[in-house]
Amino acid sequence: MQRTKIVDVINSQPTNEAVTVMGWVKTFRSNRFIAINDGSCMDNLQAVVDFEKWDAVLLKKIAPGAAIAVTGSLAASQGQGQAVELIVDQLEIFGESDPSSYPLQPKKHSLEFLRQIAHLRFRTNTFSAVFRIRHYMAFAIHQFFHERGFYYIHTPVITASDAEGAGEMFQVTTLNLNSIPRTEEGNIDFKKDFFGRAANLTVSGQLEAELAAMAFSQVYTFGPTFRAENSNTPRHLAEFWMIEPEVAFADATDNMNLAESMLKYVIQYVMEHCKSELEFLNQREQDEDKQKPAQERNEMGLLDRLRFVLSNDFERLTYTEAIEILKQSNPNKKGKFQYPIEQWGADLQSEHERYLVEKHFKKPVILSNYPKEIKAFYMRQNDDGKTVAAMDILFPGIGEIVGGSQREERLERLQKRMEELHIPQEEMYWYLDTRRFGACPHAGFGLGFERLILFITGMTNIRDVIPFPRFPGNAEF
């Protein structure tokens, strides 16, 4: 079918040549003006029908949500809201949309309501903007790595390794759950299962990415990740997308530099390519803020926040320095923290991270060199014997957006740590082999894609930045 996309029509000069546009009706005003959107941009095309020349029964079918095609000449608009409009000569209704049962009315809807009709919410301005930005962000990430000579590695979605230690896993099985085969001891007989052993959905592609990095030097993964945690927050999903670069011949500082430049690259890219989407979301947030008490409003608007992050270095400090700041902080002294900071070694709670990012530094913060007790087995042990070369990047309003580390490349140290944490080494022989054959300093991190979308779009619930969110008790659509 031959059609011109609205994004191409809306910015062209009035040619008075015939064009055909296909899309979905947003509104039909005054029985004359059809606002049509085809998802190619924020803007609607205004199509003008002379209602006296058209059958009233046909015009009645131009209702919000209907799919239509209009053909006509492109003219300079007489109205104020748009430069050009299409004067309709031909009109075709592909699919009607009954106004009394179509849930999207030309009015403001709550995000909670739209979440329940996620199959239709793509058609709203807000979600149209969010998911177009999501696309550009994914594209920007690939471009960032490609430009720097990274290779995109597809790590497995199904894994038999349960030693990754990143959280509860979803089991993958073809066994008949109504009659599970048992061993003589009465345990489940996974030998009869599809893979001949217990299998799960991946919680991270990192370990496999490390294997690839030991050949290609620089690799990254970008794929779905699954966590069976019973997490009920606006920042967690059971199925989310994660970007995990892994770099050979790199240390903790290289790791931070890579993460910071990548985040800035993506923000910069979206600001360049999604101007109207960001302007819309910026305005939307401003309107929302007007309804809120002054205390809950954003100190800076969305666009200002993005510009601010681009033009400032992330604050880098060690865990130990952070503990000192928190110890001396007013909320700690006045007992305002639910979990008071008393001594070195405590895990930071989100109230502490929020204080550092939102109150103390007021910008993204990179925390490094955490106590080894609160971090994963594969992180490189520092010379002090107490800390590991971990780093977390914390963003205002969202918290942890990146978690990474320089990896422990020294075989003996790694094995000792695995022993201490009761991680089965036989199963992980392939991971340990990289430390046996040509081990080198290397580092990497995991970036939560949806959390970055939250920051860039100003949305506040992670369920609104993935098309079909998966979370405890919900796998609808």
Give the H/E segment covering residue 74. Answer: strand 67-76
Nearest approach, Cβ of residue 164 and RNA (Å): 9
Regarding 240 and contact with RNA (CB under 7 A), the answer is yes
CB of 29 or CB of 410, closer to RNA: 29
Nearest to 241, CA basis, from 341, 157, 366, 349: 157
Say how far residue 113 (Cα) sits from the centre of its chain.
21
Q: Beta-carbon neighbour count of residue 250 at 10 Å? A: 22
Number of residues that bind RNA (CB under 7 A): 70
Measured between alpha carbons, how far is residue 33 from residues 87, 102, 105, 395, 447 in Å? 10, 20, 17, 44, 45
Identified binder of RNA from the candidate list 10, 35, 68, 456, rule CB under 7 A: 35
Regarding 129 and contact with RNA (CB under 7 A), the answer is no
Nearest approach, Cβ of residue 234 and RNA (Å): 4
Regarding 231 and contact with RNA (CB under 7 A), the answer is yes
Measured between alpha carbons, how far is residue 136 from residues 5, 224, 328, 414 in Å? 18, 18, 42, 39
Is 66:93 a contact under the CB 8 Å cutoff?
Answer: yes
Nearest approach, Cβ of residue 251 and RNA (Å): 20
**Span interacting with RNA, options 179-187, 194-202, 209-217, 469-477, rule CB under 7 A:** 469-477
Regarding 425 and contact with RNA (CB under 7 A), the answer is no
Is 363:312 a contact under the CB 8 Å cutoff?
Answer: yes
CB of 53 or CB of 107, closer to RNA: 107
Burial of residue 11 (number of CB atoms within 10 Å: 0-12, 13-18, 19+): exposed
Q: Which residues, other chains included, contact 240 with Cβ-Cβ below 8 Å and sequence gap of 6+?
A: 224, 225, 227, 448, 449, 450, 462, 466
Show contacts with RNA in window 157-186 (CB under 7 A). 166-167
Regarding 46 and contact with RNA (CB under 7 A), the answer is yes
Is 136:273 a contact under the CB 8 Å cutoff?
Answer: yes
Regarding 358 and contact with RNA (CB under 7 A), the answer is no
Burial of residue 129 (number of CB atoms within 10 Å: 0-12, 13-18, 19+): buried
Regarding 21 and contact with RNA (CB under 7 A), the answer is no
CB of 134 or CB of 193, closer to RNA: 134
Q: Which residues, other chains included, contact 81 with Cβ-Cβ below 8 Å and sequence gap of 6+?
A: 46
Give the H/E segment covering residue 199. Answer: strand 199-201
Regarding 33 and contact with RNA (CB under 7 A), the answer is yes
**Span interacting with RNA, options 102-110, 169-177, 310-318, 424-432, rule CB under 7 A:** 102-110
Nearest approach, Cβ of residue 474 and RNA (Å): 5
Nearest to 277, CA basis, from 3, 42, 55, 111: 42
Nearest approach, Cβ of residue 174 and RNA (Å): 26
Regarding 49 and contact with RNA (CB under 7 A), the answer is no
Regarding 79 and contact with RNA (CB under 7 A), the answer is yes
CB of 53 or CB of 108, closer to RNA: 108
Regarding 367 and contact with RNA (CB under 7 A), the answer is no
**Span interacting with RNA, options 137-145, 150-158, 193-201, 457-465, rule CB under 7 A:** 457-465
Is 388:435 a contact under the CB 8 Å cutoff?
Answer: no
Q: Which amino acid is at 172?
A: V
Identified binder of RNA from the candidate list 349, 419, 429, 438, rule CB under 7 A: 349
CB of 165 or CB of 438, closer to RNA: 165
Regarding 27 and contact with RNA (CB under 7 A), the answer is yes
Regarding 118 and contact with RNA (CB under 7 A), the answer is no
Identified binder of RNA from the candidate list 451, 455, 457, 465, rule CB under 7 A: 451
CB of 48 or CB of 190, closer to RNA: 48
Question: Binding string to RNA for residues 386 to 415, with x set by CB under 7 A, is what?
Answer: -------------xxxxx------------
**Span interacting with RNA, options 6-14, 45-53, 316-324, 430-438, rule CB under 7 A:** 45-53
Is 6:45 a contact under the CB 8 Å cutoff?
Answer: yes
What is the C-alpha separation between 356 and 25, in angstroms, rounded?
47
**Span interacting with RNA, options 103-111, 152-160, 178-186, 188-196, rule CB under 7 A:** 103-111
Tokens of 167: 């959280």
Please identify which residue in the block is written with the tokens 């994963």: 376
Identified binder of RNA from the candidate list 74, 201, 237, 252, rule CB under 7 A: 237
What is the C-alpha separation between 138 and 266, in angstroms, rounded?
9
| Four-residue CA torsion sign, 137, 2, 104, 10 | positive
Identified binder of RNA from the candidate list 121, 123, 132, 236, rule CB under 7 A: 236
Is 103:117 a contact under the CB 8 Å cutoff?
Answer: yes
Identified binder of RNA from the candidate list 200, 446, 453, 455, rule CB under 7 A: 446
Q: Which residues would be at the binding site for RNA (CB under 7 A)?
A: 27, 29-33, 35, 46, 48, 51, 63-64, 77-82, 85, 99-100, 103, 105-110, 112-113, 115, 166-167, 204, 227, 229-238, 240, 242, 338, 347, 349-351, 354, 399-403, 446-448, 450-451, 460-463, 472-474
